[in-house]
Structure 1
Amino acid sequence: MTSDKTKKSLVIKPFKPRNTMDAAAAAGIWGNLSRAIDEIHNKNASELSYEELYRNAYNLVLHKHGELLYANVRESLRAHLTRVARAAACVPDEQLLGELSARWADHQVTMVMIRDILMYMDRTYVKQMNRMLVYDLGLQIFRDAIVRHDKVRDRLRALLLRNVAEERAGRLIDRGLMKTILGMLVDVSVDGPSVYEKEFEAPFLEATARFYRAESLGFIAANTCPDYMRKVEARLAEEAARGTQYLHVGTVPKLNAIVETALIQDHARTLVDTEHSGCESMFRENKIEDLERMYTLFQRVPSTVDDLRGAMCDFVKRSGKALLADQEVAGREPVAFVQGLLELRDKFTGIVEHAFHNDQKAAKRLKEAFEDFVNADNRSARFLASYADDLLRSGLRGVPEHEVDRQLEKVIVIFRYLQDKDIFENFHKIHLSKRLLTGRSISNDYERNMIARLKAECGYQFTSKLEGMFTDMRISQDAMEGYRRAGLSHSYGVELEVSMLTGGYWPTQTVDACVLPAPLKQCCDTFEKHYLEKHTGRKIVWQTHMGSADLKAVFGGRRHELNVSTYQMCILMLFNQTDQLSLTIIRNHVNIPDQELRRHLISLCTPKHRILKKTSKGKGIADDDVFIFNEEFTSKLKRVRVPLVSARDLGLGPDAADGGGGGGGADDVPFNVQRDRQNMVEAAIVRIMKARKALGHNALVAEVTKQLQNRFNPAPVFIKKRIEALIERDYLQRDEKDRRTYVYLA
């Protein structure tokens, strides 16, 4: 170890301050810097030593002469830019923008050099003293000295706006120069309000609004709607290019708003309603391109698209109601009406898809339009059922499988629009029964396909009777097979074909059987005995008004096979014993209801199928008419089908195909449909009340409507009547404390 005497002692020397720079020395250094800045302004910077200049500026700041340096730099820049401003102010208008562009470019270059020399001052003194950076200081002085110079400011604004006006008039301008000058206005806004916005943007937008208001008014008055829209597209494209090439990005949305308001929003209603070239003309002539152009333009101002959607909705309503009002189509040709309806839908579905870019609100308005006029008249449901009947009888013959699905789906599309789906069901059931009983359906697979689609839409209950009809036909085939195997099908010289129909499935009316010819009566008795032996406990009721027959007839040596109804067969068989019979005698022998008897007799006396001749003239039948077998009847066909004339055409009331209804008007609901509606509403009321026990009137009506909307929309008055009927029958009672509340009686 070393002793304390050998240890060295620690010596702390006093702080020696750095050499200070006096004011004279600082002034001398600034003089060098000032001359260097002048050389930079004079574009002689290549001879300068930037390292030396940076060190001089560094020393001034380091020795607390930052204020001196900052103030002198500011005055130097101001003096230089004041001289530049005086020179620029004397330049003629046509050269002013170019002069300012050149001076601005020089200023940017010089300020970058000066900023680099004074970088240490920016980092320390400027930051500590919360002063403006040197480069920004140069921008501020450039703004105040040049841009806001009394002889520059107004001229600059006017020149910029004139350039825009000339470009809109179709003349070429220097867009690069415009971009430079406008960029200058943006850059010099280093403090306070934006110079660009105040000196250019505000007057530019104001001038733009005036220009397009005037131009749009003149152009829309002198041109068609499509021409105007093409002009708007061109103008929008021009403004978009202007925004991309020289306007500040912040101006673009403001410019778009002004242009879109002046060119689109202010004239949207006029464009839609323009006679001969507006929306109605485009819809009528299916001008997809023009409609797409209008939709695309209107999308820029979303509130205007509703005008376009509304115009489409109104046009579809008018077109649909015109179809219904056209008696040539709607009254006599229901198939043509539905075809027109489908064409209308296909057309506007295409418009929504292609022109309106699958706009969901437009699709909803289209659906509302179809629902409006389709449900304005109950005939629509009947016409749709007739159209489906035509498809399944002959319209789909030879059609490829994928096309069959497409055609049936079209029926379902229109079916979805119907509120009174039960009316469609009624008529569809009538048509289906005729197709099944007469064997005129193209394919059972197509029939089941249709039923499956209806079932998917409305549920099992809607199609249960339709499916039951197919079950009956299968059972009938099995019964006839057993009958044939027993060797009884050709008894008494008659070939008998029987369909076994369950009473609840088929649209049948209870009608007394007519008097059948003896051979046929014996065949029927034989079949009935055979069937009841195998199916005890059942009852057979013959529905002779629904049958048909093939008769072999001889007319003056000419043989024909007549396809007729059972009633017609009974009438014609009477003429095997005599050539003429009176109406009274025929009525007594066949026991056919008078209205149907007259209808079937007239069908046998029509000019085209004059198998019988009557003594009176005209369509009607007199009570004293006599009918004579027409030996002179002839036809090019070996097998002749004798159709029934319409009872409505004879003034005898509705056809059976009308389901017991009237003429098919807007308020006409077939009797059996009305009866079923009463039952469905009462059943729904009882179900709801059984579950709820007590319920207010409005809530009950709402629940019933919700449950039945897949079948039909019951009116509140109709529901109220059924509630009253249930109260009378002691299913419900009114609450003693609140008469608007119903209580279920168990």
Structure 2
Amino acid sequence: MDRQRAITVWGELSGAIDEIFRKNASNLSFEHLYRNAYNLVLHKHAEILYQGVQNSVQTYLNTVSTFVANASDERLLEEINLRWGEHQVTMSMVRDILMYMDRTYVPQHNKTKVYDLGLRIFRDAIARHPQVKDRLRSLLLGSIRAEREGQLVDRSLLRSTLSMLMELGIEGTAVYEEDFEREFLRTTRAFYRAESLDVISKNTCPVYMRKAEQRLLEEQERVAQYLDRSTDPKLRAILEEELVKTHASSLIEMEGSGCRAMFRDGKTEDLERMYLLFARVPSTLEELRGAMAEYVKSAGRELVADQERVREPVVFVKGLLDMRDKFDRIVSDAFQGEKAAQKKLQEAFEDFINMDTRCAHYLALYVDDLLKVGLKGMTEEDADGALSKFIVIFKFLQDKDVFENYYKQHLSKRLLGGRSVNDEFEKQMIVKLKTECGYHFTSKLEGMFNDMRLSKDAMEEFRKAGVSRVGGVELEVNMLTMGYWPSQALTTCNLPPEIKACCQVFQNFYLNKHSGRKVTWQAGMGSADIRATFGNSRKHELNVHTYSMCILMLFNAADTLTLEDIQKATQIPENELRRNLISLCTNKHRILRKASKGKGVTENDRFTFNADFTSKLRRIKVPLVSMKEAVVDGRAGEGEGGGGGLGPGGERLVNGIPAAVEEDRRHLVEAAIVRIMKARRKLGHNELIAEVTRQLSMRFTASPPFIKNRIESLIERDYLERGANDRKTYAYLA
């Protein structure tokens, strides 16, 4: 086929393409047209065909662009979509006719495929026509703004128009981005910046969050309906910045309706909404967690400082447990059980619970109340739940050794006084403490239970021997291993002769059974039931402390005795003597009358047996007043300066810590240092401090200065020595 023939064949094809543009394709034979195009390419005349097609499409679209450009704003989108739809159909037909050229000539000569060529011409002639481009973008943005303002718009028209811009990018998004998206994102930012400022200035935090949530859903739906998917992450980033990140601090701190109010009122639903909003911008979540932690710290410190609650330790701990339950629900429900939020909550509780050692004492008192009365009538499952709730709070306590000290004191009173609700509940508590703190923490507590079991067996043997009753007095003895029970100062006390005789009988019996042991009597830990006869032969049974029994027995021989007389006769320690005398002189149980006025006992006080004492009860329990009530002029339990004094339980404190615990800490730290150095032989100062702190963390937090003092003490005693070349290094001396 020569060139002249090729031009003739192209003329026939050109006329057919014009017919297609005029929508008269039904009269054409596509097979004939395809064969003609095939022959042109086959005989090396593809250039004539390609150039001719380009000119035909360009000429036709130039004509169409005039109609589009002259369309009014109201009709522009519809006109473009109409022409775009027609163009897609016609170019598909033309592409089918020229399929062979697309397959061979186009790739060999690096040309644009026919259909894509039509897209490019449509883009330049119509979509980017000087009188169309800006109007088209303005109309698209105007429709979107109108929809945001609540008006109804033709979404299908928007979808097809934006889809056209995407397709005109020819396997890319350049046209969509340059002609629409860039300006769309800019106007979106401006719109939501203005709206968010307006809404937050006029509404509460929950109202703003619901509005933001609604806007985010609307924009998500807008992407699904007519925007391209590539816009989604960019649009979302703008919304999250303008609606969430910019106002995060304001929402948290908003007076009356922000985070503090939500935490105070337990607004879990609103907090969940805030969490889900802030989760879109992870950096703001830390601010939200921080706000929760600060609120918990503040509320906790108020709880600790609340004098009314502090006077009632059980009420105080119940307040702690209620607060923990409340924030557990908030973290679980509102914060989706997030680990980071749980950690923040734990740190906040640890902050105020460890402000001083009072919390350790109050926790011990709370458990004491639980095991004495709180668990009464509960099933084993319910009791386990109540104890588990307590352990959650106990985990936050750093001074666990202080708690152990108080717990041991209360446990000894429960065991010796038979005050526990249920021995199984006591054992459940020990198991939970062992699980949390390890075997060493509970070994002495378990030893106390073992002593009670062995004592019971010993007393059964004592009764079977028929010597448990001497002179009408029956003796009940508990054999306590000295290392297990709360350390008591070994004090002298002159027991009445009747009691001494009983004690001697038991001592002989016990030592015959267990040779090599030593028996020391601890009158300060006992109690007695005594029969008392008052005026008109009124008889009552009094349950009193052993010291009180020794005091009362003196009044068999005299009606009135001075403080000095009682002291000489009984040899009871002064503080305990005053405490027991005050207990016997209280308004409720006035077994004795004291000469002086007021609660205290003076040096020259005289005490008289109150023959007029009356009570509706036959059996009367006379409780001991607290040691604090027995203190007169600060003479009892004065500290060693620098934080000394009396603790909440009347015990002596050193630097705010019970003296016994402080002494134990010295030994524990020194033992840990020696253990570590024996294994390592040589270690730097900081490494040793860190390792000691880690090993003792389950019992208490040892401060670096405290550890350093113990290191110095061990150096003085030749357990360690400093390095010759490096003074910050220690070596173990075998």
TM normalised by structure 2 equals: 0.96
The corresponding residue for 2:348 is 369
Of 385, 394, 399, the match for 2:364: 385
Of 270, 273, 282, the match for 1:293: 273
1:735 has 2:726 as partner: no
Is the partner of 2:369 in helix, strand or coil?
helix
Q: Is the 8 A contact 2:578 2:630 kept in 1?
A: no
Of 588, 594, 603, the match for 2:568: 588
Q: Is the 8 A contact 2:361 2:406 kept in 1?
A: yes
Of 700, 705, 720, the match for 1:712: 700
User: Deviation digits for residues 112-167 of structure 1, max 9, x if unmatched?
Assistant: 11111111111111122111111001111111110111111111011001001100
Is the partner of 1:623 in helix, strand or coil?
coil
Shift, 1:657, TM fit = 7.8
1:100 has 2:80 as partner: yes
User: Deviation digits for residues 632-684 of structure 1, max 9, x if unmatched?
Assistant: 3333333221111112134354689837333x9xx411111111111111111
Of 411, 416, 424, the match for 2:390: 411
**Equivalent residues in 2 for 1:596-611, closer than 5 Å:** 596-611=576-591
Structure 1 residues 715, 334: CA separation in 2 closer, same or farther (over 3 Å shift)? same
Q: Is the 8 A contact 1:563 1:641 kept in 2?
A: yes
Q: Is the 8 A contact 1:85 1:146 kept in 2?
A: yes
CA distance in structure 1 between the partners assigned to 2:272 and 2:172 by the alignment? 46
1:339 has 2:318 as partner: yes
Shift, 1:531, TM fit = 1.3
Is the partner of 2:540 in helix, strand or coil?
strand
Is the partner of 1:554 in helix, strand or coil?
strand
Shift, 1:524, TM fit = 1.1
Q: Is the 8 A contact 1:732 1:744 kept in 2?
A: yes
CA distance in structure 1 between the partners assigned to 2:211 and 2:660 by the alignment? 61
Q: Is the 8 A contact 2:269 2:334 kept in 1?
A: yes
The corresponding residue for 1:51 is 31
User: Deviation digits for residues 23-72 of structure 1, max 9, x if unmatched?
Assistant: 33222222222221122112121121111111111112122211111111
**Equivalent residues in 2 for 1:251-266, closer than 5 Å:** 251-266=231-246
The corresponding residue for 1:678 is 666
Q: Is the 8 A contact 2:575 2:630 kept in 1?
A: no
1:30 has 2:10 as partner: yes
The corresponding residue for 1:435 is 414
CA distance in structure 2 between the partners assigned to 1:454 and 1:376 by the alignment? 22
1:281 has 2:261 as partner: yes
Q: Is the 8 A contact 2:61 2:126 kept in 1?
A: yes
Task: Structure 2: give runs of 5+ residues left out of the alignment.
Answer: 638-645
The corresponding residue for 2:641 is none
Structure 1 residues 102, 354: CA separation in 2 closer, same or farther (over 3 Å shift)? same
CA distance in structure 2 between the partners assigned to 1:125 and 1:710 by the alignment? 81
Is the partner of 2:156 in helix, strand or coil?
helix
The corresponding residue for 1:174 is 154
Of 301, 304, 316, the match for 2:296: 316
Is the partner of 1:648 in helix, strand or coil?
helix
1:423 has 2:414 as partner: no
CA distance in structure 1 between the partners assigned to 2:220 and 2:173 by the alignment? 26
The corresponding residue for 2:42 is 62
Is the partner of 1:551 in helix, strand or coil?
strand
Is the partner of 2:141 in helix, strand or coil?
helix
The corresponding residue for 1:159 is 139
Residue range with higher mean Cα deviation, 173-182 or 32-41: 32-41
Is the partner of 1:550 in helix, strand or coil?
strand
CA distance in structure 2 between the partners assigned to 1:525 and 1:280 by the alignment? 67
Is the partner of 1:733 in helix, strand or coil?
strand
1:348 has 2:342 as partner: no
**Equivalent residues in 2 for 1:134-213, closer than 5 Å:** 134-190=114-170, 194-213=174-193
Q: What percentage of residue pairs aligned between the two structures are identical? A: 59
Q: Is the 8 A contact 2:627 2:650 kept in 1?
A: no
Q: Is the 8 A contact 1:696 1:742 kept in 2?
A: yes
1:469 has 2:459 as partner: no
Of 70, 78, 89, the match for 2:69: 89
The corresponding residue for 1:491 is 470
1:661 has 2:652 as partner: yes
CA RMSD of aligned residues (A): 1.7
Structure 1 residues 656, 365: CA separation in 2 closer, same or farther (over 3 Å shift)? closer
1:568 has 2:539 as partner: no
Shift, 1:344, TM fit = 1.1
Q: Is the 8 A contact 2:579 2:629 kept in 1?
A: no
The corresponding residue for 2:247 is 267
User: Deviation digits for residues 254-300 of structure 1, max 9, x if unmatched?
Assistant: 00000110010001011111111110000000000000000000000
User: Deviation digits for residues 563-603 of structure 1, max 9, x if unmatched?
Assistant: 11001111122223343322222222222112211111111
Task: Structure 1: give runs of 5+ residues left out of the alignment.
Answer: 1-20
CA distance in structure 2 between the partners assigned to 1:105 and 1:638 by the alignment? 107
The corresponding residue for 1:217 is 197
Q: Is the 8 A contact 2:722 2:729 kept in 1?
A: yes
Structure 1 residues 302, 192: CA separation in 2 closer, same or farther (over 3 Å shift)? closer
Shift, 1:491, TM fit = 1.9
The corresponding residue for 2:640 is none
Shift, 1:541, TM fit = 0.9
1:230 has 2:221 as partner: no
CA distance in structure 2 between the partners assigned to 1:612 and 1:583 by the alignment? 12
Shift, 1:196, TM fit = 0.7
CA distance in structure 2 between the partners assigned to 1:488 and 1:378 by the alignment? 47
Q: Is the 8 A contact 1:430 1:659 kept in 2?
A: no
1:482 has 2:470 as partner: no
CA distance in structure 2 between the partners assigned to 1:526 and 1:679 by the alignment? 39
The corresponding residue for 1:541 is 520
Shift, 1:740, TM fit = 2.2
Give the counterpart letter for 1:359 in structure 2. E
CA distance in structure 1 between the partners assigned to 2:393 and 2:557 by the alignment? 53
Is the partner of 1:25 in helix, strand or coil?
helix
Give the counterpart letter for 2:687 in structure 1. A
1:109 has 2:89 as partner: yes
User: Deviation digits for residues 710-732 of structure 1, max 9, x if unmatched?
Assistant: 11121111111111111222222
The corresponding residue for 1:690 is 678
The corresponding residue for 2:598 is 618
User: Deviation digits for residues 607-646 of structure 1, max 9, x if unmatched?
Assistant: 1222222222111122232222223333333322111111
Of 494, 502, 508, the match for 1:515: 494
Of 54, 59, 62, the match for 1:79: 59
The corresponding residue for 1:400 is 379
CA distance in structure 2 between the partners assigned to 1:193 and 1:293 by the alignment? 35
How many positions carry a matched residue from both structures?
722
Residue range with higher mean Cα deviation, 398-407 or 423-432: 398-407
Is the partner of 1:562 in helix, strand or coil?
strand
CA distance in structure 2 between the partners assigned to 1:328 and 1:731 by the alignment? 50
The corresponding residue for 2:713 is 725
Give the counterpart letter for 1:370 in structure 2. F
CA distance in structure 2 between the partners assigned to 1:743 and 1:256 by the alignment? 61
Q: Is the 8 A contact 1:313 1:365 kept in 2?
A: yes
Q: Is the 8 A contact 1:575 1:629 kept in 2?
A: yes
Residue range with higher mean Cα deviation, 169-178 or 128-137: 128-137
CA distance in structure 2 between the partners assigned to 1:243 and 1:191 by the alignment? 20
Shift, 1:549, TM fit = 1.0
Give the counterpart letter for 1:187 in structure 2. E
Shift, 1:301, TM fit = 0.5
Q: Is the 8 A contact 1:658 1:670 kept in 2?
A: no
Structure 1 residues 84, 636: CA separation in 2 closer, same or farther (over 3 Å shift)? farther
The corresponding residue for 2:534 is 555
CA distance in structure 2 between the partners assigned to 1:672 and 1:659 by the alignment? 13
